[in-house]
Amino acid sequence: MMTATIKVEWRMIETPTRRAVLGAGVFAAGSLIRIDSSVAQASLPPTPACHDGDEATLRQTEGPFFKPSSPERAELLEAGMPGQPIELVGFVISRTCKPLAGALLDFWQADDKGRYDNSGFRLRGHQFSDAEGRYRLRSVVPGVYVGRTRHIHVKVQPRGGRVLTTQLYFPGEAQNRADGLFRSELLMRTAKNAGWLAGRFDFVLD
């Protein structure tokens, strides 16, 4: 099936309708990670406590490998793609704990060998948070390369707001300590389940 490519420009867009504080629908009984028809499930902590005035997610460098106009898709994992599959889920929320609907999330990353696709859009894609501020991404765990630990790049932009550019990191990686960009505040929570790595990260925006 062909995937349409939508040009994404990082600029101001309309102000969203803000929804109620985080709902319980993201986690099923037993604290299983589940968003809508998500297949990657793992025992992870429930939605963390949310308080007015939470600190915004840290900003980090874009790096040299960002490409605009990525396809709109939540599935970066392709048939036959080598590597450990991962499903990453979470919320986009404001500092006052309001889920942000329609926030733009643009992900890009290296493959399992630490290589970026700079000619096409392999392992690149953007999506929008749903009415409750939720997102879901399926991909592979990126490989390491010289000077960098495993990480996933992302730009997040709420409607009417400024762009957050940052990077997400994997816990338990020996290379984390040697990477000068690594910040523990940007660690995902992860757990293995049925061959998948399930991950969770909530973006808090100004």
- What CA–CA distance (Å, rounded) separates 165 from 83? 25
Say whether pLDDT at 127 is over 90.
yes
One-letter identity of residue 101? A
**Residue that wins the pLDDT comparison between 1 and 120:** 120
Residue with tokens 């392709």: 78
Q: Where are the beta strands (DSSP E) in 113-178?
A: 124-128, 134-140, 151-157, 164-169
pLDDT band at 194 (very low <50, low <70, confident <90, very high): confident
Res 49: pLDDT: 57
Say whether pLDDT at 32 is over 70.
no
Res 72: pLDDT: 98
- Going by C-alpha positions, the residue among 87, 114, 44 that lies closest to residue 197 is 87
Say whether pLDDT at 17 is over 70.
no
- What CA–CA distance (Å, rounded) separates 182 from 168? 9
Mean pLDDT score, 96-117 = 97
Q: What is the mean pLDDT of the chain?
A: 82
pLDDT band at 33 (very low <50, low <70, confident <90, very high): very low
Is 159:103 a contact under the CB 8 Å cutoff? yes
CATH architecture of 24-48+57-205: Sandwich (2.60)
Q: What angle do CA 191, 71, 25 make, to 5 degrees?
A: 40
Say whether pLDDT at 31 is over 80.
no
